[in-house]
Amino acid sequence: MGADIVAIAAISPLGEGEAAWSVGELDAPARETIVHDAALAAEGLRKPYAARAIFTADPSIDRATDLLLQTFDRLPLELPAGARLGVALGSSSGGMSSAEKLFDRLREGAEVEPALADAATYHAPFRALVDRLRARDVVITRASHVLTACSASTIALGLGTHWLDEGECDLVLAGGYDALTTFVAAGFEALGATTAAPPPRPFRLERDGMSLGEGAALFVLQRPDAGKRALARIDGFGIAGDAVHLTAPDREGGGLARSALAAMSMAGIGPDDVDLVSLHGTSTPFNDPMEAKAISRVLGSRAEVVPVHAAKASIGHTLGAAGALETALLVDALRRGIVPATAGSGELDPAASTTGRTQNERTSSLRRALKLSSAFGGANAALVVSAATTSPNRRPSAPTNARAVVRELAAVEISSVVDLDVVAKVSGVPRERLARMDGGSHLALGVVGTLAAEVGRERLRGAGIVLGSVMATIDLNALYFSTIRTRGAAFAEGRKFAYTTPNAAAGECAIAFGLTGPNVCVGSGLAVADEAREVAGDLLRSGLAKTVVVVVVDAVGPVARRVADLGRWDVKFGGRAMLLTVD
């Protein structure tokens, strides 16, 4: 396993170009970009603090699409015509700024143009970039849009590296993006996850949450034997689910630790080879102790001495872009030999102790770093990133088999209309809890429950899950946003917001059926069924999973139906599930 990082482009609260992914100057403290945000304050948020990306936005197009395309235009590498290209991007909220406009139009009973409906989908920014690439005569052999919330772009980088290992691509464009919106900011505030006094203070006793950010980062990945000069290298990828809670992590850090250990195994390294850890670091009461426990499980006694970095304290939580931007900062740290500082001060929490730095320090022993990411739905991922000058480790690593045949063990299908009593029976989830969920979660639990009845519930335990959807949670999103418009952003409903993330259904299935393997949600458009099955195959052939449940769901609702009709899309509403393995 391995991919050379040969180019990076980014836009972040730190700036544009290389400034967007620079850890700063030697002996300097961490830069702080989180400020009082006038736009969020005007919406009525009680904690209106955020870090905006520094770029000249085009108000005529969706902000996330604009961020992504402008980042692509800054790539310091020409993609050759005829090259076999893979595209793997991660996002948490896709075209949400356009969705806000769409929901306002629908509430007002105003006419909705097809272009606005198209831009309001989760997959619109991804498709815009793919269209830009196709105009350059590149041949796209693999494409995936990962919607696994805050671990999405870490997963995208891992998938892209695997595609190169399997020889499916000559180059991979991988990364992530997300734009700041009232929709998302109000939801995180409603969940009590945001700070009232930035900067956030990760792993400190007085921490009270995070602030949101926005940005985009794109990596060009190439096989190490291609001969192009590398900035750094991705040597390992791991992914595992918690199967514990939709919005809170496993308190013991089990899924995150398994992800890190899988990445290290794939890279052929042990605890003594890790020189720096890039944390998820949300400064929340549950995340920080969990992450400290996960690091201890992975590094053992070295957890007390290996330095850590929590980038979100400086640039905010950039959601789907977080993994990619924080990995880019790791690349800068590795190539310059700098242990980066973490913003925030105060007494360290004994239950979440780490070895962070208050200013950037020079080191001569920075060879390999571990990137950790977590997300709603208990979706964890990790990467091993190595300095370009570090020789690949020659210890045996986890096996991969590009020629392994993916085999379908069973498949089931249900209609778009589900009876909650039936879903409760087949899933084991109480009906009163089901009533709080979105239609996609109902369909997913119903179809996976039907699959479990066919193959035996124990057959699913420990499996991975890949969930795909075209329309995702758009109907629930409209209901949630209606509350913001009628009552104000300060009165957003946190319980509804939790189910507006597209991977909520995957998380609920993982909890109900003990799916502690890889947890992924994808959605690149109408070909999502093929996309989900292909990603499941990636996880199986890479050795990251032995069995994977593939679920494709689209819940029928007035907004989903309207958008599909305006786009003239043939969306298959209902649910399908299959259990896959490899021979």
The one catalytic residue in 123, 145, 162, 280 is: 280
The kind and range of the H/E element at 140 are strand 139-146
Check if 280 is active-site. Answer: yes
Check if 150 is active-site. Answer: yes
To 10 degrees, what angle do helices 439-455 and 420-427 make?
Answer: 50
- In one-letter notation, the amino acid at residue 325 is L
The one catalytic residue in 317, 442, 509, 521 is: 317
Per-residue burial over 469-506, b = 16 or more CB atoms within 10 Å of its CB, e = otherwise: bbbbbbbbbbbbbebbeeeebeebbbebbbbbbbbbbb
End-to-end CA distance of the chain: 20
Q: Give the Cα separation of 303 and 197 in Å (integer).
A: 29
Q: Give the Cα separation of 202 and 312 in Å (integer).
A: 9
The kind and range of the H/E element at 217 are strand 215-222
Q: Give the Cα separation of 429 and 414 in Å (integer).
A: 18
Residues 6 or more apart whose Cβ sits within 8 Å of residue 279: 202, 291, 308, 309, 310, 354, 372
The one catalytic residue in 123, 145, 150, 521 is: 150
Q: Give the Cα separation of 96 and 100 in Å (integer).
A: 6
Residues 6 or more apart whose Cβ sits within 8 Å of residue 565: none
List of E strands, 302-432: 308-309, 338-339, 361-362, 368-373, 379-387, 406-414
Residues 6 or more apart whose Cβ sits within 8 Å of residue 389: none
CB atoms within 10 A of CB 179: 30
Query: DSSP assignment, residue 256?
Result: H
* Residues 221 and 161: beta-carbon distance below 8 Å: yes
The kind and range of the H/E element at 441 are helix 439-455
What are the structure tokens assigned to 10, written together? Answer: 């980014």
Residues 6 or more apart whose Cβ sits within 8 Å of residue 227: none
Catalytic residues: 150, 280, 317
